[in-house]
Amino acid sequence: MTDNLRPTNFIRQIIDADVASGKHSLVVTRFPPEPNGYLHIGHAKSICLNFGVARDYQGRCHLRMDDTNPAKEEQEFVDSIRADVRWLGFDWGEHAYHAADYFDQLYAWAEKLIGDGKAYVDDQSLDDLRRTRGDFTTPGTNSPFRDRSPEQNLDLFRRMRAGEFRDGSRTLRAKIDMASPNQNLRDPVMYRIRREHHDRTGDEWCIYPTYDWAHGQSDAIEGITHSLCTLEFEAHRPLYDWFLENIGTPHRPRQIEFARLNLTYTMMSKRHLGTLVQEGHVSSWDDPRMPTIAGLRRRGYTPEAIRLFCDRIGVAKADSMVEVELLENTLRELLNAQAPRALCVHRPLKLTIENWDQDKTVEIDADTRKLPFTKEIFIEHDDFMEAPEKGFKRLSPGKEVRLRHAYIVKCTGVDKTGNEITGLRGTIDPDPNASRKVGGTIHWVSAPLSAPVTLRLYDRLFRVPHPGAGETDFRTQLNPHSLEVLEGARIEPALRDCKPGDRFQFERKGYYCADAKDSRPGAPVFNLIVPLRDTWKK
RNA sequence: UGGGGCGUCGCCAAACGGUAAGGCAGCAGGCUCUGACCCUGCCAUUUGUAGGUUCGAUUCCUACCGCCCCAACCA
């Protein structure tokens, strides 16, 4: 494993070369989310890349809200984005920005382009634009308004800005090449008229810049050296460069594209995740089944685990689909080393110790805490089989097993109502140090001295590895068993007063986290983060 | 179909002309008061295919095949 080494990937190699050649003395990156939804594990990859690069090269990474489209953006999302990036362990220092901060500069540059005859106001409708853009094989055709004079364009553009024209009636377009094989260069729209209230700029503007017109310029303004984005923007790079070249900024950021993260059994579409929330398939953006940072956090994932996972998946240009098992393994690896152990019986089955006095309680030393042992204890229902199948190493009539941290117990009787097992009887070997080999070790809690607890057993949100693939409606592929709530579970008394957010390994079961929102003093609610590996195939 | 990318083990991913890292998954053992963890071994004679250059090619060249992205006044 190379976890302690600096990650190496093609982007860092480019940066290494830029630093070595003296092209840049300070590396500046940025993470530019659009505040229209919650961040997910895919964003975490980009965050770790951008902030990780800044950290390792002693540069800096800006957090920039890409808020050029006022219709879709909300403060709730801005707040959640900041919280999530911080929680992941990254710090943008003083460098928190909004694309909206640059609207004035962008406007000034637009006038410059108009003055240079490199942009024009087009009166065509959205429909016209679509029709004249051509298609993959057919070149587009020039707008009848393409050759207006700079003076006329300037006048029109200023009137656009002043609010003289109705929404959607005109656009400002870059004058590049309607016949370009790269459709992004067929006179792309720079401004559209849209009377929307903007969270940042209020009603100051009725024209808003498009992504293409805003992004590279924002990078230039901030002195970004390496503008890292996902593969779908690759064809936009010539346009990114064209704008920078033609407005003549002294600073030229370089756009580099990498493959976005895809994870099996979930999905990364902010829009689709929003649908799950809106339609009530999950409780909220931070539902522990969601692949959002907020969801993973609430589920019990640690920032370290997400960062290590992002290091392990690497950064490359090939489209990829990472198996969710890698994420789970990373969490298990870290929590195995960190999480205190505890005993929790999920589905209690009462076992009465016949050779133990009714009122006797012994406090057994179990590593860091005491476990009270009493005449009646609970064991896991699954840990008993009246007619054990081959390979079953747990309790069955006449057989012995070890009670974790405690005694060896032998099952001497089964109480049933009809076919239902309602309780067991057994006898213990009173020697706590008895060391003979027994079938196995099972967990248990005292019946009277354990605490009732609610367990939320989470499973993958979708039943299929690639939800939404092809024509399929992802809603039909939801896993109906993604959440099972166990109300009757019992935990050892020491855990009754754990704090929200505390993580434990419930031995032989899995890693759990006390839910940050629903746990109450004395009554924690535990979320299953990930089960332990189980090689006992049944 | 035009343009832009990408194809190395089931899934990620190194290798930068010198003879295929590592992780995950899987399989087989060992250890064990967690069927967990841990440990050991196995897991690409071969890098989409076919040619070519070279003493030598995953790395260079050619052709072909496959997959992804682009026809929002989204990002």
Encode pLDDT of A411-443 as tens digits: 999 999 999 999 999 999 999 888 898 989 999
Distance CA A256, CA A226 (A): 7
Distance CA A225, CA A62 (A): 11
- Using the CA of A435, which nucleotide's C1' is the nearest one? B33
The pLDDT value recorded for residue A368 is 87
Strands A420-429 and A348-353: parallel
Strands A96-98 and A420-429: unpaired
Distance CA A247, CA A201 (A): 24
- Using the CA of A538, which nucleotide's C1' is the nearest one? B35
The pLDDT value recorded for residue A5 is 61
Which has the closest alpha carbon to A511: A322, A235, A296, A238?
Answer: A296
User: Which residue shows structure tokens 């840049």?
Assistant: A24
Cβ A235 to strand B below 7 Å: yes
Cα-based torsion angle of the residue sequence A397, A402, A403, A405 in order, rounded to the nearest 10 degrees: 170
Using DSSP's 3-state secondary structure scheme, residue A247 falls into helix
Structure-block tokens of residue A45: 């990859």
Q: For residue A531, give Cα distances in angstroms to A79, A297, A325, A433, A458.
A: 32, 16, 11, 30, 9
Using DSSP's 3-state secondary structure scheme, residue A103 falls into helix
Selected residue with higher pLDDT from A472 and A160: A160
Which has the closest alpha carbon to A344: A534, A97, A528, A74?
Answer: A528
- Residue A404 falls in the annotated catalytic set: no
The predicted model gives A52-63 an average pLDDT of 98
The pLDDT value recorded for residue A2 is 37
Backbone angles phi, psi at A448, to 5 degrees: -75, -25
CA angle A416, A419, A424 (to 5 degrees): 30
Cβ A412 to strand B below 7 Å: no
Of A residues 90-119, those with CB within 7 angstroms of nucleic strand B are none
- Residue A34 falls in the annotated catalytic set: yes
Q: Give just the sign of the alpha carbon dihedral A429, A435, A439, A444.
A: positive
Structure-block tokens of residue A445: 């809690």
The pLDDT value recorded for residue A7 is 84
Residue range A343-376, pLDDT digits in tens: 999 999 999 999 999 999 999 999 889 999 999 9
Asked whether A285 and A257 are in contact (CB, 8 A), the reply is no
pLDDT above 80 for A538: no
Asked whether A100 and A67 are in contact (CB, 8 A), the reply is yes
Structure-block tokens of residue A274: 């929003």
The predicted model gives A487-497 an average pLDDT of 95
Of A residues 23-42, those with CB within 7 angstroms of nucleic strand B are 32, 34
Predicted TM-score (pTM) of the model is 0.96
The pLDDT value recorded for residue A74 is 87
Strands A341-342 and A60-65: unpaired
Count of helix runs (H) and strand runs (E) in chain A: 12, 25
Tell me the one-letter amino acid at A448: P
Distance CA A268, CA A281 (A): 16
Strands A503-506 and A341-342: parallel
DSSP letter assigned to residue A252: -
Of A237, A254, A270, A375, catalytic: A270
Q: Provide the ipTM.
A: 0.97
Cβ A189 to strand B below 7 Å: yes
The pLDDT value recorded for residue A285 is 97
Of A residues 264-303, those with CB within 7 angstroms of nucleic strand B are none
The percent of residues above 70 in pLDDT, for chain A, comes to 99
How confident is the prediction for chain A on average, in pLDDT?
96
Distance CA A254, CA A17 (A): 13
